[in-house]
Amino acid sequence: MPPSSTPDRPIDPPLSQGLAAAGIGLFVMYGVGVAAVLVPLRLLDPTWQINLGGALINNAAIPLLGLIALGLAHYLYPGDASLRSLNANCRQWAVLAVLGFLLLVPLLSVATLKGLNQAQQQQYEQQKTVLRRYQQLRSAVLTATSSPNLRTKLATLNGPVLTEADQNRPLPELQQALLEGLIKAKTQMLSQAKAQTATPAQTFPLVLQLLRLDLTSLGLAFGFAGLANRPGSSQSLLSDWMSVVGSRRNRKSISSQERQQQKEERAEQRRQAMALRQQSASRQREIDQLRAEERQREQKAMAEDKRSRDEARRRRSD
């Protein structure tokens, strides 16, 4: 029975149940689509990793719609305890989806770079195999002492098969013809191996695809964060993030204000110290001036006293 605290909310149990069933069906559809790419497991294969990441990202709108359908069903019929529990559990599981789509960004980048490196390594190994094969056959041709001996060496190396006409030819002529054929085959196989190397024109679409998948993955993480709830939190994960960002901005603002205030206080202290030094210098000048005047008075008094003694001596002498 619906609670009386929400009398103005539209109540339609069949519609709510239908939306909940549709949400669960969307989850199952997404799981089946991902499982089709997941099997067989090739965890170390970059191509498998990229295909799996693409399947997770390209079809992620399906579970997102399923989560929205469950939330809408709970909104239409909040009195259903099982529906409320299902919606809460799905919103908590959506936190893992947020983390997963955030982790897909570096994982897909690493898988793409690894795939390109493996392709280059395979092309390099193919060239080494061609050159090694050419050197073996060339050595067999040059070291042969007779046509039967040459045929035996080529058969051992799975090389060209000599016909009866070839065996009737002079050995130097046969060797020259075989060497020319080996050079042509080597050149052709090296050209084929080089043609398989990824060119910038072929690499650019891969980079664009990687960029599209990374940006889409970030957008999906943002979308799921708006519907996900951490256990024990009534706000969405996105709201929690915004609160953390806002508190950090406030702390930065407060820190900047404190730093500005500290700068002003230090400037005021420097001004006060300068004023005290100026006052001290002024007082020192006054003291020096007073001392100079005192010395002048003492010198004047000494001069008068000396003059008085001189006059007294003159009088006594007279």
Q: Which residues contact 212 (CB under 8 A, 6 or more apart)?
A: none
Q: Which residues contact 63 (CB under 8 A, 6 or more apart)?
A: 26, 27, 30, 97
The answer to whether residue 295 is domain-embedded is no
d(C-alpha 198, C-alpha 119), whole Å = 8
Asked if 238 and 222 touch (Cβ cutoff 8 Å), the reply is yes
> Do 191 and 205 sit in the same domain of this protein?
no
Within the chain, residue ranges assigned H as helices are 13-38, 46-58, 61-76, 81-143, 147-156, 164-168, 171-195, 200-227, 237-317
> Do 152 and 49 sit in the same domain of this protein?
no
Tokens of 91: 């919103």
For residue 6, what pLDDT is reported? 45
Reported as type and span, the H/E element at residue 162 is: none
Is the pLDDT assigned to residue 2 strictly greater than 70?
A: no
Is the pLDDT assigned to residue 161 strictly greater than 70?
A: yes
> Do 94 and 176 sit in the same domain of this protein?
no
For residue 4, what pLDDT is reported? 42
The answer to whether residue 280 is domain-embedded is no
Instruction: Express each pLDDT in 36-90 by its tens digit.
Output: 998 888 888 888 999 999 999 999 999 999 999 999 988 888 888 888 889 889 9
Mean pLDDT of the chain: 82
> Do 84 and 97 sit in the same domain of this protein?
yes
Q: Is the dihedral of CA 157, 161, 150, 148 positive or negative?
A: positive
Banded pLDDT at 172 (limits 50, 70, 90)? confident
Is the pLDDT assigned to residue 270 strictly greater than 60?
A: yes
Instruction: Express each pLDDT in 232-266 by its tens digit.
Output: 777 888 887 787 777 777 666 666 667 777 888 88
The last residue of one of the domains, among 232, 250, 268, is 250
Banded pLDDT at 201 (limits 50, 70, 90)? low
Instruction: Express each pLDDT in 101-127 by its tens digit.
Output: 999 999 999 988 888 888 778 778 888
Backbone angles phi, psi at 229, to 5 degrees: -130, 130
Asked if 144 and 153 touch (Cβ cutoff 8 Å), the reply is yes
For residue 1, what pLDDT is reported? 36
The answer to whether residue 1 is domain-embedded is no
> Do 152 and 101 sit in the same domain of this protein?
no
Q: Measure CA 236 to chain center.
A: 25
Domain that holds residue 126: 13-131+200-250
Q: Would you list the DSSP string of 10-54?
A: ---HHHHHHHHHHHHHHHHHHHHHHHHHHPSP-TT-HHHHHHHHH
Q: Which residues contact 155 (CB under 8 A, 6 or more apart)?
A: 161
For residue 254, what pLDDT is reported? 62
238 vs 94 pLDDT, higher one: 94
> Do 116 and 233 sit in the same domain of this protein?
yes
For residue 35, what pLDDT is reported? 92
Number of domain units in the chain: 2
Is the pLDDT assigned to residue 29 strictly greater than 90?
A: yes
Q: Which residues contact 26 (CB under 8 A, 6 or more apart)?
A: 62, 63, 65, 66, 69
290 vs 193 pLDDT, higher one: 290
- With a pLDDT cut of 90, the percent of the chain lying above it is 22
Asked if 143 and 127 touch (Cβ cutoff 8 Å), the reply is no
The answer to whether residue 168 is domain-embedded is yes
CA distances from 204 to 58, 105, 116, 172, 199 (A): 20, 18, 12, 51, 9
For residue 219, what pLDDT is reported? 93
Is the pLDDT assigned to residue 212 strictly greater than 90?
A: yes
Q: Is the dihedral of CA 282, 287, 288, 292 positive or negative?
A: positive
For residue 294, what pLDDT is reported? 84
> Do 116 and 18 sit in the same domain of this protein?
yes
For residue 12, what pLDDT is reported? 59
> Do 40 and 88 sit in the same domain of this protein?
yes
> Do 111 and 127 sit in the same domain of this protein?
yes
> Do 90 and 169 sit in the same domain of this protein?
no
Q: Find the mean pLDDT for residues 129-153.
A: 83
Q: Which residues contact 40 (CB under 8 A, 6 or more apart)?
A: none
d(C-alpha 196, C-alpha 318), whole Å = 137
